[in-house]
């Protein structure tokens, strides 16, 4: 039975990945900060899908938390989903620097270190996959959040090139607006976001797993967002920023 480790596994896309992979008969290692929510999520998955579920409480913004997850990855997994992430209330440059640094640690350092921890075992077994959750925001210049997600996309493509020729796959997943706790936790006003731009977490994960199977290195779920990213490549940064500020971060 294959094993998947998912960070940020108790809500949103992380929980959707857990449901999908449990349905596909993966054993799961769930990583999140909240031990009580982890235990509840594990119990529900075991009851519904009959799979093995291991919980690993860890804060990826801390050295202790990162080291704990790295140690588990050294034991070997077949799929790593680097999903943990968050948005800061407020906009640059008004966000406290310690909050921005914490974001970079979770979005960038954790993705780097956990990828490096998982890769040796995957390459030795000549199989495995890593999904690094980024965002459509990666393709537009707005805030430290979008900058950190742009790093995730570039890193994922670079890492995929480095392991090219093997059966190990690395993919950046770039969803648009997804109905999760993310925006509420970041105190973001989503009233200006048109209803048709919202995606369901389970739909995003379904497309992500399809794109991973197809060997894609960057996945942008949904035709609407594929079109937005394609058009955005030809729109001046100043226009991008104006539109982004009107519909939300």
pLDDT surpasses 80 at 44: yes
pLDDT surpasses 60 at 246: no
Residues 6+ apart with CB under 8 A from 65: 33, 58, 59
pLDDT band for position 188 (cuts 50, 70, 90):
low
Whether omega for the bond prior to residue 93 falls within 30 degrees of 0, making it cis, is: yes
Q: What is the pLDDT of residue 173?
A: 98
- Superfamily assignment of 3-247 in CATH? NAD(P)-binding Rossmann-like Domain (3.40.50.720)
Q: What is the pLDDT averaged over residues 113-132? A: 97
Domain residues of the chain, as ranges?
A: 3-247
pLDDT band for position 249 (cuts 50, 70, 90):
very low
pLDDT surpasses 70 at 8: yes
Q: What is the pLDDT of residue 93?
A: 86
Distance separating alpha carbons of residues 235 and 134, to the nearest angstrom = 21
Q: What is the pLDDT of residue 3?
A: 98
Mean pLDDT value across the chain: 90
Six token digits for residue 21: 């992979």
Q: What is the pLDDT averaged over residues 160-189? A: 80
- Note the pLDDT tens digit of each residue in 55-85: 999 999 999 999 999 999 999 999 999 999 9
- Note the pLDDT tens digit of each residue in 79-102: 999 999 998 888 888 899 999 999
pLDDT band for position 199 (cuts 50, 70, 90):
very high
Give the count of alpha carbons within 13 A of 112, CB side only: 12
Tell me if the pTM is above 0.85. yes
Q: What is the pLDDT of residue 247?
A: 45
Q: What is the pLDDT averaged over residues 201-223? A: 97
| 145 is an active site residue | yes
- Note the pLDDT tens digit of each residue in 11-23: 999 999 999 999 9
Q: What is the pLDDT averaged over residues 234-245? A: 57
Q: What is the pLDDT of residue 165?
A: 78
Q: What is the pLDDT of residue 129?
A: 98
Q: What is the dihedral of CA 71, 86, 107, 16, to 10 degrees?
A: 60
Q: Is the dihedral of CA 211, 212, 213, 214 positive or negative?
A: positive
Six token digits for residue 188: 């973001």
């Amino acid at each position: 039975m294959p094993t998947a480790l998912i960070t940020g596994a108790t809500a949103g896309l992380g929980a959707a990945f857990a449901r999908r992979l449990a349905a596909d008969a993966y054993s799961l290692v769930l990583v999140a900060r909240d031990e009580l929510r982890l235990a509840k999520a594990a119990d529900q998955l075991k009851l519904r899908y009959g799979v093995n579920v291991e919980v690993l409480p860890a804060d990826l913004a801390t050295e202790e938390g990162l080291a704990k997850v790295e140690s588990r990855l050294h034991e070997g997994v077949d799929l790593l989903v680097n999903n943990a992430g968050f948005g800061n209330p407020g906009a640059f440059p008004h966000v406290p620097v310690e909050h921005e640094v914490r974001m970079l640690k979770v979005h960038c350092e954790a993705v780097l270190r956990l990828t490096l921890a998982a890769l040796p075992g995957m390459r030795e077994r000549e199989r495995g996959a890593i999904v690094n959750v980024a965002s459509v925001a990666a393709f537009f210049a707005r805030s430290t959040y979008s900058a950190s997600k742009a790093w995730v996309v570039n890193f994922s493509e670079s890492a995929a090139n480095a392991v090219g020729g093997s059966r190990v796959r690395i993919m950046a997943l770039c969803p648009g607006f997804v109905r999760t706790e993310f925006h509420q936790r970041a105190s973001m006003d989503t009233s200006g976001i048109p209803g048709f731009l919202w995606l369901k977490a389970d739909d995003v994960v379904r497309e992500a797993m399809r794109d991973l199977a197809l060997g894609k290195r960057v996945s942008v779920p949904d035709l609407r967002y594929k079109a937005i990213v394609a058009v955005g490549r030809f729109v001046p940064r100043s226009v991008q920023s104006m539109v982004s500020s009107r519909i939300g971060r």
